């Protein structure tokens, strides 16, 4: 496991440390390593009773003294914590009081049915030993069967027991226990439930698992408003001259004809009538125009009110879509739903809030087209109204890395540092470390601006595609980091580099939100590279990186003191002045400039506080194996127990717990155990290594029936096979399993194993005629077992074994090392192997085929039956994919032989360190390797471990494999088994 801690040294100085240690190391081991490796102590022996006092940098900020005998993986020591050495005893180890009960274990069935055990926070052991915290009397429960870890959740871990832990009908090495889960330990059923809320219990896990809950982003549907029609100018009215003159002429003519006085009245009244009509029409037209003007003003006010209300809603939505730094800091402290809320498929992925200013509104206003009859003043008012509401102020100005490719920030040093810090802070708090990785190029002068980044899970997590350090402030570390990023870009581009197109993945930055068209999702995780303009790195290579990276998910955020210093690849930028409220943003692709823009700043202390809180947080929705959890080496005796190297009674007891001692043995099972065995199916489970968290077990019956083992020269393949055989031999008696060894490397691989009482023979390349004889015997054994099962009316060997029939033969495991050489020498052996593979499961015959390169050797009909796949280091990615389906095994370090991965089913891949039995293991515990280095911004300084004198005593005496074989042989004689 890898931890980043602040260590208060004895003289009071605080140093930031990176620690790499086995997950099974104890707290006391780490405390002693910190003391001895501290350069100030020059390798001096650590005083006794050292442990760690931890101040957890959480929102609550708790302090605790850790139990020195507790595994680090279960002690609750988390990255970001402040630690110091202590000789104070932890509260739960003083006297016999281990603290208040926070969980309860109930025995539901078995010899101890009805008993209840109160479990305090921390580790409690289950087993038959009276010293166990949960003491059970079931003979099928091992002496130390399992340990329960009670913390924020309840977990149970198998401790190499004979019958394991059965949860939901499946045997598990480690699991989280829910309140409704029922666990089987031997012949005992138990349940475990918490009695206090998880928040009141001290943490036990090194990580804080954060669940990214579903979050519906607020949306604002664009609306269109229309201004009222401008009043029209009235049609011009002409004075009715003709209508007034015509009656006069008519009246004169009428008077001349009739000589009547009434004609004079007509002459006088007709013009008056015409004049009245003219004046009335003119008044009506004026009133109508006035009403149009009133209606226009009223409608304009209504539209303005509706627009104002809609724009307030729009402003709220846009602010919520791009939260402020204050909101994100609160999300970090509370682990709220805003944390890591951006998803790769969402339009907001890789967007940042540059500041707050005026942007084009989503509320559009349609103004009337040009109308020659409209009053010009009112037409101008309508157009001015539309222009007034075209932009909305107080909304986020957004930069999108997927559209721009790279972002720039320029301004006075103190101001631009705070703004650039805020931009990066937005990215790391809104994006999961599984989907975003961060790297920084700084200078010695700007290093303090970015030191907080080394605490982030985004800088160096197991998800990162970059090897090595992610921070650099000098030419050496900068060159290494730049080369790693260039290699990543080249690999993602498939070896060809090309410049980014001018309009890939556009975003409607005029409106401040992503355009409706979907973005192509680039490879994940995305990589954001923070570059300080004065970083001592080749500028041309950095610019090339910024140009070629966006198409494959690599983006640059460039910080400089002036816009003229930003490279042109920064197609979106923010220009800052002494007043952060008067910034200018530019979007080159759209020709947009926004001003003034109010930018947010984040000071170094605030950033460091949030980064320390994020340091132990992991995305629970994405699995990631940390290779540092797996130990670099582990001995077989350390895993199965040192008693198995000297005490035959320990082996006999394990065989009895497993139920594999047949009735023919002098020390056979009692009648009760025999009845239990008939109710349960036996297995062939064996401990083969360690995952760091728990022992690694394989079962040929449930995981097989046959296995394929791949590994190149020097990978530790033969040593793994030896340890697998020893694991089965110590766990199961010869009545349950026997071995046939086929070694085409001269027989050296199994030279010791042939002395096991389980061994029925060995075939080597030195006696090829024996291979053919073995093949003939194997065919005869197949026929014998078929006839036996038919006579006993049993469908398979497991069914017959459960009946306790004394005629039931043991399972036969045929282990072939260097299968490829065997196929080349004796091709007909393949047909016999295929026959076994196709019929072996029901007959209890299992194959373990080991080869350096399975391609061309393992045929399809054979491959289809080898469900269990184990790969040690492979020669190349194709060989690894051939065995596991993934290229992981090609990347195993060559300096760690025995590193392996097992595929026990679709999608079930486990990395582990294979047990080694070729050394000499002392019963005196040895301190695990612990690497300590000072975190110095990408240039860690290792604390050298002290060199201990006089370690030659372990070079004398028999090897572990010889001790185990001799002990198992004695156990068979003690049990009265034929040898």
pLDDT at 259: 75
Question: Is the pLDDT assigned to residue 757 strictly greater than 80?
Answer: yes
Give the tens place of pLDDT for each residue, 230-289: 777 776 767 677 777 777 777 777 777 877 777 777 777 777 777 777 787 878 888 887
CA atoms within 13 A on the CB side of 471: 24
- pLDDT tens figures, 712-750: 989 999 999 999 999 999 999 999 999 999 887 777 888
Of the candidates 600, 513, 504, the residue with the CA atom closest to the CA atom of residue 552: 504
Can you tell me the distance from the alpha carbon of 832 to that of 855, in angstroms, rounded to the nearest whole number?
19
Structure confidence by residue, pLDDT tens digits, 470-485? 999 999 999 999 999 9
Average pLDDT over residues 383-398: 90
In whole angstroms, what is the distance from residue 851 CA to residue 845 CA?
A: 20
Share of the chain above pLDDT 90, in %: 47
Q: Strands, DSSP E only, in 642-792?
A: 685-690, 695-699, 707-710, 737-743, 759-764
pLDDT at residue 470 in the model: 95
pLDDT in tens, 357-370: 999 998 888 876 66
- Reply yes or no on whether the pLDDT at 613 is more than 80: yes
Identify the CA nearest to 850 among candidates 829, 871, 835. 871
pLDDT tier at 662, thresholds 50, 70, 90: low
Q: Each residue of 530-567: pLDDT tens digit?
A: 999 999 999 999 999 999 999 999 999 999 999 999 99
Dihedral angle over CA of 821, 825, 826, 829, nearest 10? 0
* Three-state secondary-structure class, residue 722: helix
Q: Residue holding tokens 């998910």?
A: 553
Q: Which residues pair with 785 in a beta bridge?
A: none
Q: What 3-state class would DSSP assign to 818?
A: coil
Structural domains of the chain in order of their starting residue, each with its CATH number: 2-93 (3.10.20.90), 101-209 (2.60.200.20), 400-607 (3.40.50.300), 630-650+683-923 (3.40.50.300)
pLDDT at position 517: 46
pTM beyond 0.75: the answer is yes
d(CA 436, CA 401): 12
Which range, 174-183, 480-489, 812-821, 884-893, is most confident?
480-489
Residue 718 tokens read as 């033969």
Kindly report, residue by residue over 169-227, the tens digit of the pLDDT. 888 888 999 888 999 998 999 999 988 764 555 677 888 889 998 888 888 888 888 88
Other beta carbons within 10 angstroms of residue 962's beta carbon come to 16
Q: What sign results for the dihedral spanned by CA atoms 429, 537, 560, 351?
A: negative
Q: What is the mean pLDDT of the chain?
A: 85
Residues 6+ apart with CB under 8 A from 443: 473, 532, 534, 535, 536
Nearest to residue 424, comparing CAs of 409, 444, 411, 434? 409
Q: Is the bond into 919 cis (omega within 30 degrees of 0)?
A: no
The residue among 782 and 265 whose pLDDT is bigger is 782
| Alpha-carbon span 507 to 398, nearest angstrom | 10
pLDDT at site 514: 43
pLDDT of residue 427: 98
pLDDT (average), residues 10-32: 89
Of the ranges 342-346, 691-695, 845-849, which one carries the lowest mean pLDDT score? 691-695
Determine the pLDDT at residue 70: 85
Largest CA distance in the chain: 165
Greater confidence (369 vs 573) lies with 573
Handedness of CA 826, 827, 833, 835 (dihedral sign): negative
pLDDT value at 503 more than 90: no
Residue 886 · residue 909 · CB < 8 Å: yes
Our measurement of the distance from residue 743's CA atom to the centroid of its chain's CA atoms, rounded to an integer in Å, reads 42
């Amino acid at each position: 496991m890898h931890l980043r801690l602040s260590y208060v040294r004895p003289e009071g100085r605080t140093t930031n440390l990176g620690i790499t240690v086995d997950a099974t190391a104890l707290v006391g081991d780490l405390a002693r390593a910190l003391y001895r490796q501290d350069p100030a102590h020059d390798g001096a022996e650590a005083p006794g009773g050292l442990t760690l006092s931890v101040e957890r940098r959480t929102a609550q900020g708790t302090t605790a003294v850790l139990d020195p005998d507790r595994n680090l993986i279960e002690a609750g020591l988390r990255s970001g914590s402040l630690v110091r050495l202590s000789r104070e005893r932890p509260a739960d180890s003083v006297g016999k009081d281990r603290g208040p009960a926070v969980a309860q274990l109930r025995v539901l069935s078995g010899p101890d049915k009805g008993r209840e055990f109160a479990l305090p926070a921390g580790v409690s052991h289950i087993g038959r030993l009276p010293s166990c915290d949960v003491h059970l009397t079931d003979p099928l429960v091992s002496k130390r069967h399992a340990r329960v870890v009670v913390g924020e959740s309840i977990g149970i871990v198998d401790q190499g027991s004979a019958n394991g832990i059965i949860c939901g009908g499946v045997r598990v090495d480690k699991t989280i226990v829910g309140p409704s889960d029922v666990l089987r330990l031997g012949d005992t059923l138990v349940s475990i439930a918490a009695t206090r809320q998880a928040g009141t219990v001290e943490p036990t896990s090194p990580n804080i698992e954060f669940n990214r809950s579903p979050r519906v982003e607020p949306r604002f549907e664009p609306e269109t408003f229309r201004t009222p029609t401008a009043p029209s100018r009235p049609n011009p009215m002409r004075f009715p001259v003709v209508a007034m003159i015509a009656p006069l002429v008519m009246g004169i003519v009428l008077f001349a004809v009739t000589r009547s006085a009434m004609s004079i009245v007509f002459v006088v009244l007709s013009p008056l009538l015409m004049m009245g009509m003219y004046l009335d029409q003119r008044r009506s037209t004026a009133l109508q125009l006035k009403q149009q003007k009133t209606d226009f003003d009223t409608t304009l006010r209504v539209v303005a009110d509706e627009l104002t209300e809609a724009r307030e809603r729009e402003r709220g939505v846009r602010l919520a879509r791009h939260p402020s730094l204050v909101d994100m800091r609160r999300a970090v402290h509370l682990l709220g739903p805003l944390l890591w809320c951006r998803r790769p498929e969402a339009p907001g992925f890789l967007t940042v809030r540059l500041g707050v200013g005026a942007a084009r509104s989503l509320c559009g206003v349609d103004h009337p087209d040009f109308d020659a009859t409209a009053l010009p003043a009112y037409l101008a008012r309508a157009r001015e109204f539309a222009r007034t509401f075209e932009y909305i102020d107080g909304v986020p100005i957004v930069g999108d890395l997927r559209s721009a490719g790279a972002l720039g920030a320029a301004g006075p040093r103190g101001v631009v540092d705070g703004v650039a810090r805020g931009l990066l802070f937005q990215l790391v708090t809104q994006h999961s470390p599984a989907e975003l990785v961060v790297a920084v190029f700084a200078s010695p002068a700007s290093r303090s601006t970015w030191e907080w980044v080394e605490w982030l899970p985004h800088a160096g997590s197991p998800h990162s595609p970059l090897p090595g350090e992610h921070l650099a402030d000098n030419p050496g570390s900068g060159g290494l980091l730049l080369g790693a990023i260039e290699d990543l870009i080249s690999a993602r581009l498939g070896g060809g580099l090309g410049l980014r197109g001018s309009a890939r993945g556009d975003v409607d930055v005029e409106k401040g939100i992503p355009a409706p068209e979907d973005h192509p999702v680039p490879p994940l995780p995305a990589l954001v590279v923070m570059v300080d303009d004065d970083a001592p790195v080749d500028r041309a290579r950095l610019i090339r990186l910024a140009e070629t990276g966006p198409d494959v998910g690599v983006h640059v955020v460039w910080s400089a003191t002036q816009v003229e210093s930003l490279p042109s690849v920064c197609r979106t930028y923010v220009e800052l002045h002494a007043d952060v409220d008067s910034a200018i943003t530019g979007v080159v692709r759209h020709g947009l400039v926004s001003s003034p823009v109010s930018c947010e700043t984040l000071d170094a202390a605030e950033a460091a506080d949030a980064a320390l809180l994020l340091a132990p947080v992991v995305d629970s929705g994405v699995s990631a194996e940390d290779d540092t959890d797996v130990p670099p080496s582990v001995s077989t005796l350390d895993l199965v127990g040192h008693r198995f190297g000297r005490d035959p009674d320990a082996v006999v007891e394990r065989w009895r717990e497993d139920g594999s001692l047949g009735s023919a043995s002098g020390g056979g099972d009692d009648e009760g155990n025999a009845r239990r065995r008939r109710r349960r199916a036996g297995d062939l489970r064996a401990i083969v290594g360690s995952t760091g968290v728990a022992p690694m077990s394989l079962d040929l019956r449930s995981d097989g029936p046959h296995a394929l083992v791949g590994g190149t020269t020097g990978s530790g393949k033969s040593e793994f096979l030896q340890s697998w055989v020893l694991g089965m031999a110590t766990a199961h008696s010869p009545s349950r399993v026997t071995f046939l060894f086929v070694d085409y490397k001269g027989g050296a691989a199994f030279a010791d194993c042939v002395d096991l009482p389980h061994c029925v023979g060995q075939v080597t390349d030195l006696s090829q005629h024996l291979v053919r004889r073995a093949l003939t015997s194997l065919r005869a054994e197949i026929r014998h077992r078929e006839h036996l099962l038919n006579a006993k009316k049993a469908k398979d060997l497991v069914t017959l074994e459960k009946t306790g029939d004394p005629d039931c033969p043991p399972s036969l495991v045929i282990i072939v090392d260097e299968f490829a050489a065997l196929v080349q020498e004796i091709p007909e052996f393949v047909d016999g192997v295929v026959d076994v593979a196709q019929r072996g499961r029901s007959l209890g015959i299992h194959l373990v085929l080991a080869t350096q390169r399975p391609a061309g050797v393992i045929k399809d009909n054979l491959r289809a039956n080898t469900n269990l796949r184990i790969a040690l280091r492979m020669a190349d990615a194709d060989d690894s994919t051939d065995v596991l389906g993934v290229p992981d095994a090609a990347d195993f370090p060559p300096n760690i032989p025995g590193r392996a991965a097992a595929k026990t089913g679709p999608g079930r891949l486990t990395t582990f360190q294979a047990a080694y039995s070729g050394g000499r293991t002392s019963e005196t515990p040895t301190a695990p390797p612990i690497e300590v280095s000072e975190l110095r911004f990408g240039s860690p300084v290792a604390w050298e471990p002290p060199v201990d004198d006089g370690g030659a005593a372990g070079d004398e005496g028999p090897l572990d494999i010889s001790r185990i074989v001799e002990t198992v042989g004695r156990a068979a004689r003690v049990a009265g088994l034929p040898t």
